[in-house]
Amino acid sequence: MKLKRRWPARRVWAYIGVLAASLVVALGIGWRLFSDRIDNDAYDFFFKRNPPQSWTPESLVLAIDENTLRRMGGQRNYRTQLAEALERISAARPKVVAIDMILADASTEPEDARLERALRATPSLVIATELIDDKWEDPIPRFRPPDAVLAQVLPYKPDGVSRLIPLEQRIPRDRRWALALEAYRVYRGAPPPLESPDDVEVAGIRIPAPNKHGQDRPMLVRFLANGIPRIAIADLVSRPSLAAEVTGKAVFIGVTALSAARDRLVDPYGRDIPGVEIHAQAFETIRHGQFLVRADFALVMPICVLLVIAAGLSFGLLSGWPAYIAAALVLVAAHSIPLIFFHRGVVFSYTAAMSTAGLSLAGAAAFLYFSTRRELRKSESDKVRYQQAIHFVTHEMRTPLTAIQGSSELMGRYNLTDEKRKQMALMINSESKRLARMIQTFLDVERLSEGEMDMKRTPFAARDVLESCVERVRPLADRKQIRVFLDQPGDSSILGDRELLEYAFYNLLTNAVKYSPPATEVHIESSRDGDQLRLAVRDQGIGMDARELKNIFKKFYRTKKAEASGEVGTGIGLSIVEQIVVNHGGRMEVASAPGKGSVFTVILPVGVTASAH
């Protein structure tokens, strides 16, 4: 497998930054904005794909179904149907009877009297009440035997799918527990629930259902795949022996007829489910004591961080198809994590996992794409600059060569006076020396930048070098009427390679002259600062902005202003200057602003053996 070259630290940090941003976006925006819809869909999908473990229900629904309505007088006769059911099962002794019907108003006699009798004859009774306009719709007193418990029956129905029930509902000073919870408590003959901010404990079972942050203790219902057994009241009437089925059970009585149901809900499996069965299912969830809980941030966060790290490593360490395979594996992991947790009863946000993996992979891929593109562009422009430099050097060499060629031709072809001939020979000699020097400098510079050159270490006076540079640059400066001043030359000496340092200063001086308008001044200042010698070249030229300043020491870099000035240059001079100064244990400082001139300062350690103070 192909591993990548090591990255420079800056690139690594930028990459980590991009990944961290992906994580923040994924957790922050992704989780909040889209999560509910997608997470709910994923939740239902898990139910269908991996129904949670099933058990034999201890509950049963006595149903007012279509058949019961048809045979027993329709919706107007609910009370009679309920009374009939209670009468028929009382001998079979169910452990608890939970009625999911609102008995908040009076109807007609003798119907109500019969229901009242039936209710009073039923021990262990839990009756539904609903919160309407901030008031509990409690059963009227005659339908409320002294031992009966009242419980609320609010179902959540955000998208028509029932997943959660609130275990409590409250108006100031009047809180009701859920029908399923009270039914379980009565079923177990237990005292009222014990509460903490995180859970509710009833008959030794601790239900994770917080009421922090204004929550109403939502509990995820672990719907049984086979549903809750149902007996239609009409069947109970025609076959009284069915009543034996309720012995020792929790009986939930309610309307299941779709035509009469007030709201239609489906369970996560996608089946129509009447409210009364939701309560029976919730009862089963509590009774069995295996709860589905939502993964909290302390679990989601580290797992998402791991996903981001995996995504980052996929693209950071690998390239080509192995990177894509690794990325695909990260996505598969992100997809599987919620499923694996679901198996263990933990509901892990599918959106959090998928958006973290997706965004961090996308972020990593985009980062690589753009940084590779930038590198490519940079290496291309390096190449172009290098070609320009070669072009420049060959161009420079042509001038002395032409002179040599011309003179030698003249000498060969014409009869020249001795004096003329001598003059030409001298010129040939000096031009070829110039050529040799140029080649030497170019080679030196190349070797120096490769770090191969031996540096001499001899003591010499800084002042000598500066003076000789000023002399050399003078003709150039005169042409532009630029005056060059050597201010406070001082008498420090330097231990190092005189030729190289002279090359460096000469370069700084020619730049100062090149990049200044005519009739300005260039000053050279030298000063001592402890063990350091500061040699500054100050001009009143075109200057540079902060971005340009960052680049001028790079090989072949030239600012736009420099290009536009018409001054020839290669953009390698400063890179060599810096190299020379660094090789002498020193450093460069540059201060400049566009149009305000520049100061290039060479800071060198003062020669140990040659300090002239």
- Residue number with CB closer to ligand ADP (343 or 398): 398
Q: What is d(CA 130, CA 178) in angstroms, rounded to the nearest whole number?
A: 10
Which of 155, 268, 312, 571 is in the footprint of ligand ADP by CB under 6 A? 571
Report the nearest approach of ligand ADP to the CB of residue 548 (Å).
7
Q: What is d(CA 536, CA 518) in angstroms, rounded to the nearest whole number?
A: 21
Q: Which stretch binds ligand ADP (CB under 6 A): 115-123, 163-171, 213-221, 556-564?
A: 556-564
AA letter at 186: V
Cα-based distances in Å from 327 to 302, 312, 334, 493: 19, 9, 11, 61
Which of 94, 312, 541, 607 is in the footprint of ligand ADP by CB under 6 A? 541
Q: Which stretch binds ligand ADP (CB under 6 A): 49-57, 281-289, 330-338, 568-576?
A: 568-576
3-state secondary structure (DSSP) of residue 612: coil
Q: What is d(CA 307, CA 23) in angstroms, rounded to the nearest whole number?
A: 9
Which of 97, 572, 580, 604 is in the footprint of ligand ADP by CB under 6 A? 572
Running DSSP on this structure, what letter comes out for residue 455?
P
Q: Which stretch binds ligand ADP (CB under 6 A): 52-60, 129-137, 174-182, 541-549?
A: 541-549
Running DSSP on this structure, what letter comes out for residue 258?
T
- Residue number with CB closer to ligand ADP (278 or 512): 512
CA 204 to the chain's CA centroid: 43
Q: What is d(CA 161, CA 44) in angstroms, rounded to the nearest whole number?
A: 9
Binding-site size for ligand ADP (CB under 6 A) equals 22
Q: Which stretch binds ligand ADP (CB under 6 A): 309-317, 398-406, 461-469, 571-579?
A: 571-579
Residue 460, beta-bridge partner list: 494
61 forms part of the interface with ligand ADP (CB under 6 A): no
Running DSSP on this structure, what letter comes out for residue 161?
B
Going residue by residue from 500 to 529, which x/- string records binding to ligand ADP, judged by CB under 6 A?
-------x---xx--x--------------
- Residue number with CB closer to ligand ADP (294 or 561): 561
Compute the half-sphere exposure of residue 557: CA atoms within 13 Å on the CB side of its CA.
Answer: 16
Strands (E) across 290-381 are located at 293-294, 346-347
584 forms part of the interface with ligand ADP (CB under 6 A): no
Report the nearest approach of ligand ADP to the CB of residue 527 (Å).
19
552 forms part of the interface with ligand ADP (CB under 6 A): yes
Task: Annotate 221-240 with b (16+ C-beta within 10 A) or e (fewer).
Answer: bbbbeebbebbbbbbbbeee
598 forms part of the interface with ligand ADP (CB under 6 A): yes
Report the nearest approach of ligand ADP to the CB of residue 537 (Å).
7
558 forms part of the interface with ligand ADP (CB under 6 A): yes
Report the nearest approach of ligand ADP to the CB of residue 4 (Å).
32
- Residue number with CB closer to ligand ADP (211 or 516): 516
155 forms part of the interface with ligand ADP (CB under 6 A): no
- Beta strand 598-605 with 532-538 is antiparallel
Report the nearest approach of ligand ADP to the CB of residue 379 (Å).
19
Contact 457, 569 (CB under 8 A): no
Q: Which stretch binds ligand ADP (CB under 6 A): 17-25, 296-304, 355-363, 555-563?
A: 555-563
Contact 508, 602 (CB under 8 A): yes
Q: DSSP per residue over 170-210, as a string? A: EETTEEEEBHHHHHHHHHHTPPSPEE-SSEEEETTEEEE--
22 forms part of the interface with ligand ADP (CB under 6 A): no
- Beta strand 587-592 with 174-177 is unpaired
Report the nearest approach of ligand ADP to the CB of residue 317 (Å).
37
- Residue number with CB closer to ligand ADP (62 or 562): 562
* Beta carbons within 8 Å of 86's beta carbon, 6+ residues apart: 97, 115, 118, 119, 121, 122, 253
363 forms part of the interface with ligand ADP (CB under 6 A): no
Which of 539, 584, 601, 602 is in the footprint of ligand ADP by CB under 6 A? 539
Contact 542, 562 (CB under 8 A): yes
Q: What is d(CA 408, CA 427) in angstroms, rounded to the nearest whole number?
A: 10
Q: What is d(CA 529, CA 536) in angstroms, rounded to the nearest whole number?
A: 13
Q: Which stretch binds ligand ADP (CB under 6 A): 40-48, 360-368, 483-491, 565-573?
A: 565-573
Task: Annotate 523-540 with b (16+ C-beta within 10 A) or e (fewer).
Answer: bbbbeeeeeebbbbbbbb
Which of 119, 183, 326, 544 is in the footprint of ligand ADP by CB under 6 A? 544
For tokens 């997706």, what's the residue?
A: 358
Report the nearest approach of ligand ADP to the CB of residue 516 (Å).
7
Which of 570, 578, 584, 602 is in the footprint of ligand ADP by CB under 6 A? 570
- Residue number with CB closer to ligand ADP (281 or 507): 507
* Phi, then psi, of 167 in degrees rounded to 5: -80, -20
Q: Which stretch binds ligand ADP (CB under 6 A): 88-96, 148-156, 440-448, 558-566?
A: 558-566
Report the nearest approach of ligand ADP to the CB of residue 450 (Å).
17
Residue nearest to ligand ADP (CB): 569
Q: 434 is written with which tokens?
A: 């110039």
559 forms part of the interface with ligand ADP (CB under 6 A): yes
Closest CA to 332 of 363, 352, 357, 300: 357
Report the nearest approach of ligand ADP to the CB of residue 297 (Å).
53
Closest CA to 558 of 566, 547, 570: 570
Contact 283, 184 (CB under 8 A): yes
Report the nearest approach of ligand ADP to the CB of residue 596 (Å).
10
- Residue number with CB closer to ligand ADP (68 or 601): 601
| Contact residues for ligand ADP, defined by CB under 6 A | 507, 511-512, 515, 539, 541-544, 552, 557-559, 562, 569-575, 598
